[in-house]
Amino acid sequence: MNWTREPLVHFLVAAAAIVAVDAWLGAPAERTIRVPAARAADADSYVRDEILWREAVARGLDESPAARALAISRVESILVEPPPEPTEAELRAAYETDGARWSRPGRVDLDQVTFSQGANIPPGTREQLETGAPFWTLGEASGPGASLRGVEDPELRATFGDAFADSVAVIAPGSWHGPWETSAGRTFVRVVGRSSPEPLTFGQARGRIREALLAEATERAIAARVRELREEYRIEIEKAR
């Protein structure tokens, strides 16, 4: 029999040629991740998010760019199983290894007057504040939130931004300062008092330790899964022009 005349042989040879050419040309476009030059410094983070985004889309989650962060968060919970509960010994070891991590953050009491971004602050506002004017009647975003008590650093940063929180941490209580450009607007602030971080007993910190250990275990599992998925992609980093 002349095998060269068999249609099946022709088909197999052609198929092998296509596979070889495809491998030579590289991964198809949908299996290639191109990292913009501007993100070259944090390419791993970019690739991680892109892989998770593509996994989310493949699973029919919201494809709109506006929902990207939510879709990535949702697909993370799909890709890995929930980690096992930490044992009592693991909780205790985490507490004893890094007790300072589980302290209650320092808190600050402050008064604030905020005007919206770009607003014209009335002349003499700082002088009014320094002479004892009712600060809660000033500004555009003060109102019931004009006096903030027992505010922890993470909350302060979330509301007003890092630069403001860093400044509040070092200014002396009693005097008005500002205005600062903050996440909330243009803000005057007076620190009324502050408390130092407080150590927590193991019993007080137990819930926080549990949540942290579960979150860390979940992140390790996601990172391992992303490494596996990354093997399926060709990564290209664009060159800066």
What is the percent of the chain with per-residue pLDDT over 70, rounded to a whole number? 85
What mean pLDDT comes out for the span 54-62?
87
**Does the pLDDT of residue 30 top 80, yes or no?**
no
Please report the pLDDT score of residue 24 as a whole number: 37
Is the pLDDT at 17 greater than 50, yes or no? Answer: no
Tell me the backbone φ, ψ of residue 179, rounded to 5 degrees.
Answer: -80, 150
Is the pLDDT assigned to residue 6 strictly greater than 80? Answer: no
In whole angstroms, give the CA distance from residue 49 to residue 229: 12
Please tell me the CATH code under which domain 104-195 is placed: 3.10.50.40
pTM for the full model? 0.60
Q: Where are the domains of the chain?
A: 1-102+205-241, 104-195
Q: Mean pLDDT across the stretch 219-229?
A: 95
What's the rounded mean pLDDT across residues 62-86?
86
Q: For position 138, what pLDDT does the model report?
A: 87
pLDDT score of 25 more than 80:
no
Write down the pLDDT at residue 141: 56
Whether residue 167 has pLDDT greater than 60: yes
Band of pLDDT at residue 100, cut at 50, 70 and 90: confident
For the cut 70, the answer to whether the pLDDT of residue 144 exceeds it is no
d(Cα 82, Cα 65) in Å, to the nearest integer? 27
Three-state helix/strand/coil letters over the chain: CCHHHCHHHHHHHHHHHHHHHHHHHCCCHHHEEEECHHHHHHHHHHHHHHHHHHHHHHCCCCCCHHHHHHHHHHHHHHHCCCCCCCCHHHHHHHHHHCHHHHCECCEEEEEEEEECCCCCCCCCHHHHHHCCCCHHHCCCCCHHHHEEEEEEHHHHHHHHCHHHHHHHCCCCCCCEEEEEECCCCEEEEEEEEEECCECCCHHHHHHHHHHHHHHHHHHHHHHHHHHHHHCCCEEEECCCC
**pLDDT at position 63:** 67
- Predicted confidence band of residue 68 (pLDDT cuts 50, 70, 90): confident
pLDDT band at 226 (very low <50, low <70, confident <90, very high): very high
Looking at residue 120, its pLDDT comes to 84
Decide if pLDDT at 20 tops 90: no
